[in-house]
Structure 1
Amino acid sequence: MSMEHARQHQPLRQPDRQRQVKVKVRKTGWISTGEKVLYSVATAGLLAASIFLVQFSADTDALNRDIRSLETDLAQQESQNENLAYQVKELSNPDRILRIAKENGLNIQNAKVKQAASVSN
Structure 2
Amino acid sequence: MEEVKGGSSSSAIRSSNIGFQLLKKCGWTEGTGLGVAEQGRLEPIQVHAKNDKQGLGSRKINNNNKNKRHQLLRDSTSKDNEAKKKAKALSKRAKKLQEQEKKLQDKEFERAFFREFWPDNV
TM-score computed with the length of structure 1 as normaliser:
0.47
Structure of higher CA gyration radius: 1
Name the structure, 1 or 2, with higher relative contact order (CA <8 Å, separation 6+): 2
Higher helix share goes to which structure? Answer: 1
